[in-house]
């Protein structure tokens, strides 16, 4: 019997089909489970994380720069303020093509082509989310031009900001300094996070030295943006926009300077058309009452943005208006140091009050034919120390210089603060120079040049040779003379104020070691001679002191710019103006109760008594209220 195999197994096919259905359903259930689990993870377990992330895609952190502290004079008159203005700003990360954008802005006249490389550098140096200020102050016409072209410039917008303004311009430029645009060097020096949203920083003088106090603390806010990165108006925000966070910036401290604006104005006017410097100081506490360097400049040009070409014009000006002569200038002090040399000579016994010298118009060292000439060709005749100071007899000081010696001269002049920084609360102060044997050994490499020669001591005694001092140092030394050896660190900031509480903190004067002159009678003698410089019939500056309703003291000085050979005569009219001698004068008043000490230098002014002394007199008159009709007897 043959076996016949069935053609189709329905039972097997049914079982196979059912198993496939079950497998497909299982896979579908598994996949659906995975999807549901992922949805639970995203929508429930990680909701807060992704909600915050999605919010971050439409919310931008924007830095809020603090309001810079104000600066006032000693009477509360504003010297530096903040004015509202519209600035043109660019956020690098929102600009598709930076080079093309800057080029288009230059074509519209909104930025200068010469500034484009600097903007490119800033965009690469700082964080790309940080705005770069392209213009600090836009005019109404410029705002209209940009508003019309706004869609063409993604990442560029104008913002309301506060711009630094100096009401008195060049009058206080060398005291206050100025703020300027942040440079790449500034960004490397400063904390980038602390200066987020800020486009300027203090560059010179008080603005720079007190940057940390004036600046304040940056704040922040969250702003809702659209797909183009532009801020969404408040009325267009949803509920998420109402939950935005922020922190208000903390304004910087206000500063009150010791400067008297009226005195500053008189000093500036006195130097009009001249090159020079004036420093006035209170000998009782070291407060700077006036500090002027001429010529000056307008600091507002820096605060609102200056082109490289404009800066080069200032920098290359032969009169150097950017150079602070009062603090950074170094000049031979000339005969202004004779009162200090006299005290040193008396204290060391190098001379006495009865010693007399016959001045014939020159002096020669023993065994030498070289003549060290007196400013008065015919000589002063027989003089003592009092006459030598009041009439500024060079020969007397030539003679006693050998008895003092350069090292003891250095020791006493150092006590008056000459030849070193005074410690003024301002940067870039000149050191000056008071030479000594040790200094010369270090200053020169050639052994022959390291030898100190007697003739160098002779000319050092009248403030020539290697001797250098700044007008600030001379004013500080004059204050020490007026206070009979009591010394203070000169300072500009008298107080600072918290703008939130209004609490004002005074800066206490910093006392320095006294000048080591033990005999009070020496002070009486030297200061009496300085009094007679201005208020005797033979004093070198008697014309400047004539008619004063108060008693004063002073000392004139003249420092050479070029050397005159033995057989030449100094003829002021025949010498180029810039090669003439510098004119110096130091003074203080009132004589019995000094309230102001002044140092004046007029570059190439030729005569300290004729040119510089009247300027010092005008400043003392102003400060003591003589010009205002105040009774001098009550001072």
Contact between 277 and 290 under an 8 Å Cβ cutoff? The reply is: no
β partners of residue 348: none
Supply 176's token pair.
Answer: 């206050």
Is residue 335 part of the annotated active site? The answer reads yes
Beta partners for 157? 89
Residue 220: Cβ within 10 Å count:
15
The CA-based dihedral angle spanning residues 87, 92, 94, 97, taken in that order and rounded to the nearest 10 degrees:
110
Distance (Å) of CA 115 to CA 143, 147, 195, 304, 419: 19, 22, 21, 14, 41
Cα distance between residue 305 and residue 179, in whole Å: 10
SS3 for 558? strand
Strands 254-257 and 71-72: parallel
Report the distance separating Cα 42 and Cα 21, nearest Å: 31
Under 8 Å between Cβ of 263 and 289: yes
Residue tagged active-site, from 335, 342, 390, 587: 335
d(CA 365, CA 363): 7
What is the rounded CA–CA span in Å between residue 600 and residue 462?
17
Q: 296 Cβ partners below 8 Å, 6+ apart? A: 170, 171, 173, 174, 268, 321
Q: What is the DSSP string of 408-439?
A: HHHHHHHHTTTTS----SSSS----B---HHH
Residues 6+ away with beta carbon under 8 Å from 41? none
CA atoms within 13 A on the CB side of 10: 0
Active site residues: 335
């Amino acid at each position: 019997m043959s076996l016949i195999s069935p053609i189709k197994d329905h039972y097997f096919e049914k079982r196979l089909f059912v198993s496939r259905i079950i497998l497909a359903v299982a896979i579908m259930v598994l996949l659906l489970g995975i999807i549901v689990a992922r949805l639970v993870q995203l929508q429930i377990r990680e909701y807060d994380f992704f909600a915050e992330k999605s919010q971050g895609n439409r919310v931008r952190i924007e830095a809020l720069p603090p309001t810079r502290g104000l600066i006032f004079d000693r009477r509360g008159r504003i010297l530096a303020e903040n004015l509202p203005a519209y600035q043109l700003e660019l956020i690098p990360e929102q600009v598709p093509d930076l080079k093309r954008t800057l080029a288009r802005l230059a074509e519209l006249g909104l930025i200068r082509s010469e500034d484009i490389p600097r903007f490119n550098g800033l965009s690469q140096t700082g964080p790309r989310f940080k705005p770069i200020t392209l213009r600090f102050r836009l005019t109404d016409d410029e705002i209209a031009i940009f508003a019309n072209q706004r869609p063409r410039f993604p990442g560029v917008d104008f913002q309301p900001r506060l711009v630094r303004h100096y009401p008195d311009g060049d009058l206080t430029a060398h005291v206050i300094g100025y703020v300027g645009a942040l440079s790449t060097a500034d960004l490397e020096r400063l904390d980038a996070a602390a200066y987020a949203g800020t486009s300027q920083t203090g560059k010179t003088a008080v603005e720079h030295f007190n940057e940390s106090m004036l600046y304040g603390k940056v704040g922040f806010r969250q702003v809702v943006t659209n797909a183009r990165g532009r801020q969404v108006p408040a009325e267009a925000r949803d509920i998420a926009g109402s939950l935005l966070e922020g922190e208000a910036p903390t304004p910087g401290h206000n500063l009150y300077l010791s400067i008297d604006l009226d005195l500053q104005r008189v000093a500036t006017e006195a130097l009009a058309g001249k090159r020079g410097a004036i420093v006035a100081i209170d000998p009782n506490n070291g407060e700077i009452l006036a500090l002027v360097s001429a010529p000056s400049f307008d600091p507002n040009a820096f605060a609102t943005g200056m082109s490289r070409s404009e800066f080069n014009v200032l920098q290359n000006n032969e009169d150097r208006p950017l150079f602070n002569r009062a603090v950074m200038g170094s000049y031979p002090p000339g005969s202004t140091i004779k009162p200090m040399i006299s005290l040193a000579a008396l204290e060391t016994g190098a001379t006495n009050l009865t010693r007399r010298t016959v001045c014939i118009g020159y002096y020669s060292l023993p065994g030498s034919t070289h003549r060290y000439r007196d400013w008065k060709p015919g000589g002063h005749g027989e003089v003592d120390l009092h006459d030598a100071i009041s009439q500024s007899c060079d020969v007397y000081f030539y003679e006693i210089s050998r008895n003092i010696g350069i090292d003891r001269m250095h020791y006493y002049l150092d006590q008056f603060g000459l030849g070193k920084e005074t410690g003024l609360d301002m940067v870039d102060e000149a050191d000056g120079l008071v030479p000594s044997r040790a200094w010369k050994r270090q200053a020169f490499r050639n052994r022959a040049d390291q030898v100190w020669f007697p003739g160098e001591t002779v000319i050092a005694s009248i403030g020539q040779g290697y001797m250098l001092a700044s007008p600030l140092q001379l004013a500080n030394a004059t204050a020490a003379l007026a206070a009979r050896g009591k010394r203070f660190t000169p300072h500009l900031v008298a107080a600072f104020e918290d703008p939130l509480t209004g609490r004002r903190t005074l800066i206490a004067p910093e006392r320095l070691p006294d000048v080591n002159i033990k005999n009070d009678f020496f002070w009486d003698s030297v200061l009496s001679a300085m009094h007679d410089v201005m208020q005797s019939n033979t004093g070198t500056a008697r014309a400047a002191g004539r008619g004063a309703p108060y008693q004063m003291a002073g000392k004139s000085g003249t420092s050479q710019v070029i050397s005159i050979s033995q057989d030449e005569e100094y003829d002021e009219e025949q010498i180029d103006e810039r090669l003439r001698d510098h004119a110096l004068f130091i003074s203080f008043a009132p004589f019995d109760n000094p309230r102001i000490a002044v140092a004046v230098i007029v570059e190439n002014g030729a005569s300290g008594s004729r040119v510089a002394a009247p300027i010092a007199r005008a400043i003392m008159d102003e400060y003591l209220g003589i010009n205002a009709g105040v009774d001098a007897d009550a001072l």
